[in-house]
Amino acid sequence: MEIEKEFVNAAVSFCEKFIKPYERKIEDEGLYINDILSEMGALGFFGISTPKEFGGLGLPLEVGVNVSLIISKYSGTIAGIIGAHQLAVLSIQIAGSKEQKEKYLSRFIKGTSIGAFALTEPEAGSDPSAIKTEAVLSNDAYIMNGTKAFITNTGLADIYVVMAKTDKGRGARGISAFIVEKSDVGFSFGRKEHKMALTYLSNASLSLNDVKIPKGRLLGREGTGFVTAMKTLEIGRIFTGASAVGLAERAFEEAVEYSKRRIQKGQPISNFQIIQSYIAEMKTKIEAAKLLVLQAAKLKDEESKEATLFSSMAKYYASETAVEVSRLAVQIFGGYGWVKDYVVERLYREAKMYEIIEGTNEIQKLIIASNLLRKSANKLAEEDYRLRKSNK
């Protein structure tokens, strides 16, 4: 437990030294990003929950989640890059062979390679089974064709975990996962998307034109890609929730500090009841969201069946909290909250992303409801079975 606390404290020290002094240049100009990523890799931040046998620290997922929360308070861009990178790491941890893990995880952990996860397509977002990218086996390799959209870390990443159909007639069960390398012939990038926030968090399309993927880069077996993706995104949602909480904490801290400095009618606005009500609301929601995120991480560490339910609840509630808390922060700043000189303006724009990525909040509600209704149905079936058995 002591090493876990030390690592979280180390994350704060790292952010204070390497991110905080350069935050505006990182977010507004895209400077120092590669240097920061290299330093993080050298210090072990990319291998927190990766098994020791592959060069990681083997710490609980909860530690990595806490670190993500801290980083997102300082930089949404760095947090976003790491989040997308982790999806590639997790995919290979979950489905990779020993050889694949040995080859790629060590590079990911050291930060010598950055990863990306490619599932979304122009016509397949919330419904992954609708993807059209295909991979056809030809002798000792798969020939892949298709287009991916809104892929985070495009261009920056060296290694891409790409989902493709190997059997078009089987829907989700016909999806397989592959490792695609940046240097593969026929693999190219589209233009970067111009977004409302996080300008230097690269999002772009991927084009795969007769890309030859050796059989050794198939992740798991054919047809198991959808399962790999869902297991990966389940953990990804916990990290997304953590990043949303980190953003909300930053917005809260900025707003509280400003409310104590801003003078109206001869007194700080923090003395006004309406501002105090905002502060109370913000802090309560942040703490509730944080507890939900950490509970989801704890359940995943315990391999609990409840992890799926809680990861979706954590992502859903934390992202809504980020939007609401950053909105109230802007409200406390008043007109200044609408000015780019103040960080809350940027945080308010960034917060919206968390309601969309890793499965929209509408999808999360469906997952939550499905889990709860299934539990209820199972409980009723068990009670019915016990009742019939006792009547015999």
Q: What is the pLDDT of residues 241-298, one digit of tens each?
A: 999 999 999 999 999 999 999 999 999 999 999 999 999 999 999 999 999 999 999 9
Domain with CATH 2.40.110.10 in the chain: 117-223
The answer to whether 222 is a known catalytic residue is no
Q: What is the topology classification, in CATH, of domain 227-379?
A: Butyryl-CoA Dehydrogenase, subunit A; domain 3 (1.20.140)
User: Tokens at residue 67, please?
Assistant: 């670190």
What's this model's pTM, rounded to 2 decimal places?
0.94
**Average pLDDT rounded to a whole number, residues 105-116:** 95
CB neighbours of residue 243 within 10 Å:
31
Contact status, residue 177 vs residue 195, Cβ threshold 8 Å:
no
In one-letter notation, the amino acid at residue 119 is: L
Catalytic residue among 181, 324, 358, 362: 358
Residue 263: phi and psi, rounded to 5, are: -105, 130
Q: What is the chain's length?
A: 392
Q: What H or E segment, with its residue span, contains residue 351?
A: helix 343-351
CB neighbours of residue 236 within 10 Å:
23
Q: What are the pLDDT digits (tens) for 158-194?
A: 999 999 999 999 989 999 999 999 999 999 999 899 9
Give the C-alpha distances (Å, rounded to integers) separating 62 from 48, 298, 321, 373.
10, 6, 20, 28
Q: What are the pLDDT digits (tens) for 99-110?
A: 999 999 999 999
Q: Residue 310 above 90 pLDDT? A: yes
What CA–CA distance (Å, rounded) separates 288 from 245? Answer: 10
**Confidence grade of residue 3 (pLDDT, cut at 50, 70, 90):** confident
Contact status, residue 93 vs residue 101, Cβ threshold 8 Å:
yes
pLDDT of residue 138: 94
Helix H segments across 75-114? 76-95, 98-100, 106-110
Q: Which CATH superfamily is domain 117-223 in?
A: Butyryl-CoA Dehydrogenase, subunit A, domain 2 (2.40.110.10)
**Confidence grade of residue 1 (pLDDT, cut at 50, 70, 90):** low
In one-letter notation, the amino acid at residue 112 is: T
User: Tokens at residue 89, please?
Assistant: 């790491």
Burial of 181 (0-12, 13-18, 19+ CB in 10 A): middle
**Average pLDDT rounded to a whole number, residues 63-68:** 95
Looking at the chain, the whole-number percentage of residues with pLDDT higher than 90 is 90
pLDDT of residue 200: 96
Higher pLDDT, 91 or 378: 91
pLDDT of residue 105: 95
Query: Cα 81 from chain centroid?
Result: 9
In one-letter notation, the amino acid at residue 233 is: L
pLDDT of residue 38: 95
Q: Residue 148 above 80 pLDDT? A: yes
**Confidence grade of residue 4 (pLDDT, cut at 50, 70, 90):** confident
Rg of the chain (C-alpha set): 22
In one-letter notation, the amino acid at residue 148 is: K
* First CA to last CA distance, the chain: 53
Q: Token pair 């295909």 is at which residue?
A: 134
Q: What are the pLDDT digits (tens) for 209-233?
A: 999 999 999 999 999 999 999 999 9
Could you tell me which CATH number the domain at 2-114 has?
Answer: 1.10.540.10
Domain with CATH 1.10.540.10 in the chain: 2-114
What CA–CA distance (Å, rounded) separates 245 from 351? Answer: 10
Looking at the chain, the whole-number percentage of residues with pLDDT higher than 70 is 96
What CA–CA distance (Å, rounded) separates 161 from 329? Answer: 38
Contact status, residue 160 vs residue 119, Cβ threshold 8 Å:
no
Residues 6+ apart with CB under 8 A from 25: 31, 32
What CA–CA distance (Å, rounded) separates 58 from 337? Answer: 42
pLDDT of residue 129: 85
Domain with CATH 1.20.140.10 in the chain: 227-379
3-state secondary structure of 58: coil
pLDDT of residue 6: 86
Q: What are the pLDDT digits (tens) for 277-293?
A: 999 999 999 999 999 99
**Average pLDDT rounded to a whole number, residues 89-105:** 96
Longest distance between any two alpha carbons in the chain, whole Å? 80
